[in-house]
A and B are shown apart, each in its own frame.
Chain A
Amino acid sequence: MSTIQSRFRVQYQQFLLDTELEFPDEGVTVVFGRSGSGKTTFLRCLAGLERSPTGYLKFGDHVWQDASHNLFVPVHHRPIGMVFQEARLFPHLTVRDNLNYGYRRIAPEHRKITFNQVADLMDLHPLLDRRPQKLSGGEQQRVAIGRALLTSPQLLLMDEPLANLDAQRKQDILPFLIRLRREMKLPIVYVTHSLGEVLQLVDTLILLQEGKSVASGSASEVLSRLDLAGKTGPSTLGSVLTTTVADHESEYGLTRVQYRDQSLYIPEQPLAVGSSLRVHLLAQDISITLGKPETPTSVLNRLPATVLEIGPTDSRGSSVNLKLDVGEPILATITRKSLAHLKLKPGMQVYATVKAVRMVHEIEEY
């Protein structure tokens, strides 16, 4: 598998970014961290807007930076698209001219996407003759994404593109990002301080803290690591499952989704059978039962599970986190009393009862 290899060390007065990371150059890589964690600096190093004096960066087979050979490919020679937190649309140009700015600057034989394709994908046709100042924040970001796509980038870098938008605008933009991930074979590195908004997108997750990488790997792996519990914020503690829509039971208002050989019932979704859907199992929504599966119960979602790991117990707190294997690793939060009562041990076969399955886009900001 082809990867992005990077090593950056950037020092400011009060801040040091010091990372060595390798991640796949496909799918969506989310770089997550609180403000001051160095995530934006990391992205700017990838773009070439920041130059780490001792840095190294290799994208697939192409070395973009190698300080030991004094090699540094300048920003405008890197096949990247960049979307900034503020859209940074050129105020002296119309939307159409903004979109064409990068498009005109690449050789026709390198154009892999047409103006109309991008305008369709991002729904930009009604905006083309307007000035950026006359657009809403969400519209501006759509234009900015379209403008970046029109350079036919091989890597799309996004720096908190939703951060300046209110909750409603976020919901307006997310479908476009999901569409982008689905329809373009384009690796994306996405920086955010709010994991909730990108759970629908994330494939690989990198966690930065105070300029250092504390975890990186596939999202379901990282999110279900007990030692990181709490670092990603309470609303994300748990795990993300990529499922496929199996069928609809309209008379009950339910949709059945599958992952591996397991099924889950969720509220009916307006999605075609076979389409892919990310669901989020919050640790606090998972409980454990030992009973036989034949016992009648009102609970629909009961998954056979193996206890993998028991998190540290805090004598002051009443709860403890467990890591379970339900085909994918997931987390469950139960009380310490239940842990003692059920005599749970790693390796035990139990059932994970899912009280609620959340669609990823339902997750609130925390």
Chain B
Amino acid sequence: MDASIMDWQPIWITLKLAATTVSVLLLIGTPVAWWLAHTPSRARVWVEAVVALPLVLPPTVLGFYLLIALGANGVIGGPFQSMTGASLAFSFAGLVIASTLYSFPFVVQPLQGAFEASGKTYLEAAWSLRASKWDAFLSVASPMAVRGYLTAIVLGFAHTLGEFGVVLMVGGNIPGKTKVVSIAIYDHVESLEYSQAHWLSGGLLLFSFAVLVMVYAFNRRLPVHVS
């Protein structure tokens, strides 16, 4: 087989989408996970349920509501369009928003678990050693949650690579803009281009497997074990 028939554009878009999504998720997911791990508030169960929704909803349901919200008259898409003049639906930015929501639990849950495992006890020790709350978060809670972060990054990344339904509904299938690998494979199969489908599928399979092996190997060697 000839590697030149390999479709590089969807691969590039997919990696860019996954990397952007994971970055956004870490920024938003960390405070949410921290709040969930430490709050005594009764609102906690409601927030936890909302965070977990993408795990149980069919991607098409999420995609449908997102399409409406991101559309020119939607609650997000409307203001965005009037400010920037660009449309969110069927754009890369729209895809990032959709992926962020779709992969939210995969980042928040491992982080929440890690923060809960180390608990407040070490933070109290840090405060008593003159560390401010922010300092204690950075110098104690975060390094102790390193496994949680690793799991969150890998799961968030992998889950974004693997999404199909939401991307199809929100992003459409615009080559060079929103056409990601999973959709490219679908297109190839539809048009019976099995050899291209093989290349992309095999590549994704090997890549995912290699990443997971690396993570598990690395995870074992981490010094911090918090139970």
Contact = CB atoms under 8 A, between A and B. Distances in A.
A91 B127 contact: no
15 contacts: A47-B128, A49-B124, A49-B127, A76-B128, A81-B128, A84-B125, A88-B121, A88-B124, A90-B126, A91-B144, A92-B143, A92-B144, A101-B131, A147-B129, A151-B130
Contacts of A90: 122, 125-126, 140, 144
Given A84-B125, A101-B126, A91 B226 contact: yes
A147 B128 CA distance: 10
B223 interface: yes
Interface of A: 47, 49, 74-76, 80-82, 84, 86, 88, 90-92, 101-102, 105-106, 131, 133, 147-148, 151
A92 B130 contact: no
Contacts of B73: none
Contacts of A151: 129-130
Contact of B121 (A84, A106, A147): A84
Contact of A80 (B128, B139, B146, B224): B128
B198 interface: no
Most buried by B among A86, A101, A148: A101
Most buried by B among A49, A88, A92, A147: A92
A168 to B, nearest CB: 26
A66 B91 CA distance: 56
B69 to A, nearest CB: 41
Nearest to B146: A92
Nearest to A80: B128
Contacts of A81: 128
B143 A82 contact: no
A318 to B, nearest CB: 49
A76 B140 contact: no
B132 A76 contact: yes
Main secondary structure of the interface of B (DSSP, over half): helix
Contacts of A86: 121
Given A75-B127, A75-B128, A91-B144, 6 more contacts: A49-B128, A76-B129, A76-B132, A82-B125, A90-B125, A148-B128
Interface string B70-92: 00000000000000000000000
Contacts of A80: 128
A161 to B, nearest CB: 13
A105 B224 contact: no
A307 to B, nearest CB: 48
A102 B129 contact: yes
Closest 3 CB pairs of A and B: A102-B129, A82-B128, A105-B130
A86 B226 CA distance: 15
A81 B140 CA distance: 18
A151 B140 CA distance: 17
Interface in B74-129: 121-122, 124-129
B16 interface: no
A80 B126 CA distance: 12
B225 interface: yes
A101 B131 CA distance: 9
A148 B130 CA distance: 10
B148 to A, nearest CB: 13
A88 B129 contact: no
A84 B124 CA distance: 10
A155 B140 CA distance: 24
Contacts of B131: 76, 101-102, 105
A241 B59 CA distance: 77
A222 to B, nearest CB: 28
A133 B224 CA distance: 10
Nearest to A131: B223
Interface in B156-172: none
Contacts of B139: 101
Interface in B128-151: 128-132, 135, 139-140, 143-144, 146
Contacts of B125: 82, 84, 88, 90
Contacts of A133: 225
B130 A102 contact: yes
Nearest to B127: A75
Interface in B188-227: 223-226
A91 B224 contact: yes
A142 to B, nearest CB: 15
Contact of A105 (B129, B143, B144): B129
A241 B30 CA distance: 57
B78 to A, nearest CB: 44
B143 A148 contact: no
Contacts of A74: 127
Nearest to A157: B128
B201 to A, nearest CB: 40
Contacts of A101: 126, 129, 131, 139
A84 B128 CA distance: 10
Nearest to B142: A92
A105 B132 CA distance: 10
A88 B140 CA distance: 11
A91 B132 contact: no
A76 B127 contact: yes
